[in-house]
C-alpha cells in the first residue's frame, strides 16, 4: 500500500524563525501530494498541492513545499513562523484507482509556535 511518513510528531519553533515539517512518501509512478492544516476544532484546510507541474509549490499563508523525487520527499517550509501557524499539519498522497481517488494521510505533525 502507498504511504506517507511524517518524520516528526511535534515541532516547536519560536515566532519569526523558519518552519520545516518533513514528509517522505513511498515511491509511486506518479504521486499527487498535498499538505493540509488542521486548527483545533476546525476542518482540514488545503495548504498546497503538487501535481507534477512544478517541483516547488507555493501555498497559502506563505508556506511552500519542494518535491524531490530522488529523495522521495515533500517537505513543508515557511521562512518566518507566526503564532497563527500553530496547528496540526498533515502530509497526504493521492492515488487514483479503478474509478476511485484515495487520499492517504500521514500521522500528522503538531507545530507549536513560541512567542
Partner 1 sequence: EAGVAQSPRYKIIEKRQSVAFWCNPISGHATLYWYQQILGQGPKLLIQFQNNGVVDDSQLPKDRFSAERLKGVDSTLKIQPAKLEDSAVYLCASSFYPSGGGRTDTQYFGPGTRLTVL
Residues that bind partner 1 (CB under 8 A): 32, 36, 41-46, 49, 51, 90, 92, 94, 96-103, 105-108
- Residue closer to partner 1, measured from CB, 13 or 89: 89
Which of 67/90 has CB closer to partner 1? 90
Distance CA 46, CA 16 (A): 23
Q: Tell the smallest beta-carbon distance from residue 63 to partner 1 (Å).
A: 16
Spatial separation of the C-alpha atoms in residues 49 and 56, rounded to whole Å: 10
Q: Could you tell me the smallest distance in angstroms from the CB atom of residue 84 to partner 1? A: 18
Q: Which residues contact 100 (CB under 8 A, 6 or more apart)?
A: none
- Biggest CA pair distance of the chain: 48
Collapse the DSSP code of 83 into the 3-class scheme (helix H, G, I; strand E, B; otherwise coil) and give the result.
Answer: helix
- CB of residue 16 vs partner 1: minimum separation in angstroms? 29
Instruction: Report CA 13 to chain centroid distance, whole Å.
Output: 17
Cα–Cα distance, 65 to 61 (Å, whole number): 12
Least CB distance to partner 1 at residue 18 (A): 24
Cβ proximity to partner 1, 13 vs 92, nearer residue? 92
- Looking at the Cβ atoms of 62 and 94, the one nearer to partner 1 is 94
Amino acid at each position: 500500500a502507498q504511504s506517507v511518513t511524517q518524520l516528526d510528531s511535534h515541532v516547536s519553533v519560536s515566532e519569526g524563525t523558519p518552519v520545516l515539517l518533513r514528509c517522505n512518501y513511498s515511491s509511486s509512478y506518479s504521486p499527487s501530494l498535498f499538505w493540509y492544516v488542521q486548527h483545533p476544532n476546525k476542518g482540514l484546510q488545503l495548504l498546497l498541492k503538487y501535481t507534477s507541474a512544478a517541483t516547488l509549490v507555493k501555498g497559502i499563508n506563505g508556506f511552500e513545499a519542494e518535491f524531490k523525487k530522488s529523495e522521495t520527499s515533500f517537505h513543508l517550509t515557511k521562512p518566518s513562523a507566526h503564532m497563527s501557524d500553530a496547528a496540526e499539519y498533515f502530509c497526504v498522497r493521492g492515488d487514483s484507482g479503478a474509478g476511485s481517488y484515495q487520499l492517504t494521510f500521514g500521522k500528522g505533525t503538531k507545530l507549536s509556535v513560541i512567542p
